[in-house]
Each structure stands twice: as C-alpha cells, then as structure tokens.
Amino acid sequence: MSGDERPDLDHYFMEIARVVASRSTCLRQKVGALIVKDKRILATGYNGAPSGLPHCLEIGCLRKELNVPSGERHELCRAVHAEQNAIIQAAVHGVSIVGGTLYTTHQPCIMCAKMIINAGIKKVVYGRRYADGRGLEFLKEAGIEVVYMPIDGGEEGES
C-alpha cells in the first residue's frame, strides 16, 4: 500500500494492535489486542504481569528458564494475555463488548478463546500464528468469524 492510500478498517485496527503490543512487558512475545464495535475502539490490552506485580522485564521469565515450548504450561506464565487484558479493561469500565471484533497481533490461545466466546465477541482478526491450534478450533466451533491477516511474516516469533 502506498503512502496515499487509506487503509481498510481491518488493517487500520491491526496496526493499532501492533502499537498496543509495544507496551508489553513479556520477554518472549509482545502481544497487543483491542476490541472494536461500530468502528470504535472499546478497550485495549497487552500481555504483562497483573497490576502492581513485578514484570518479567524486572524479574525474568520462568517459562524461558525452564525451556517450556510456546503453547504449553500457561499456568507458569505470570503475564495476563493481551486478549484477557482487553476483556478485563472493558469489564472494569462497564463497557459492553458483546458483538464486537477483537484484533490481536497473535492467534488466541485456548484460554483466551474461551474468554472471547463467553464475552460475546463475534469476530477475531489475528496476525501471527500460534503453536497450539485449539483456540482457533474453539472459536470456529462457537461460530465466531476468524480472519488471519499476516503481520511480520505471520509466523510465530521466538517464544
């Protein structure tokens, strides 16, 4: 796309998700997400430690130290995922996201997929593939529209 072309909404919101990811405090993957409804951003989230707790940038990453492959042993990670943080922010501020679209730099994991389904999200647009495909299977089984829009080559980065 040349500099004078106006991006479509999916590309526009995915670019914003990339900027949100820049706030991540994860040592393995920087993930950003936002929830949109009626062309309006309702909430954003990036992956990082729960509020008030030390970040991985400060204390290190247990999953990295133990050589845990991407997509496995989620319970060892101290971070809240970007998709989860976006959903939580909407809840904290009393914003309904039912019927919205979630844009995320990375394919949702199984835990995030379950939250997305129960939050009433109707469409998910993601930019990088994830090692575990169960999240996508759940989303599709729930009737959620799933769109893969590759960013940075689209393949999973170091994790």
Domain of residue 138 covers: 9-148
Mean pLDDT value across residues 84-89: 98
Q: Which are the contacts of 144, defined by CB distance < 8 A and separation ≥ 6? A: 116, 117, 121, 122, 123, 124
Domain count, the chain: 1
Residue 137 resides in a domain: yes
C-beta of residue 157 within 8 angstroms of C-beta of residue 128 = yes
* Within-domain flag for 75: yes
Q: Is 118 domain-assigned?
A: yes
Model pLDDT, residue 147: 97
Task: Tell me the per-residue pLDDT of 104-159, one tens digit each, with 9 for 90 and over.
Answer: 999 999 999 999 999 999 999 999 998 788 999 999 999 999 999 998 755 554 33
Global confidence as pTM: 0.88
Task: Establish if 153 belongs to a structural domain.
Answer: no
Q: Does residue 107 sit within a domain?
A: yes
Distance, in Å, from the CA atom of 70 to the CA atom of 50, rounded to the nearest integer, reads: 20
* Active-site choice (83, 137, 145, 156): 83
Task: Decide if 74 is inside a domain.
Answer: yes
Rounded CA-CA distance 154/113 in Å is: 19
* Confidence (pLDDT) at 1: 53
- What pLDDT digit, counting tens, does each position of 17-26 carry? 999 999 998 8
> Is 59 contained in some domain?
yes
Specify if 154 maps to a domain.
no
pLDDT band at 78 (very low <50, low <70, confident <90, very high): confident
Question: Which CATH number do you get for residue 51?
Answer: 3.40.140.10
Q: Active site includes 83?
A: yes
Quick one: which of 92, 85, 76 has its CA closest to 30? 85
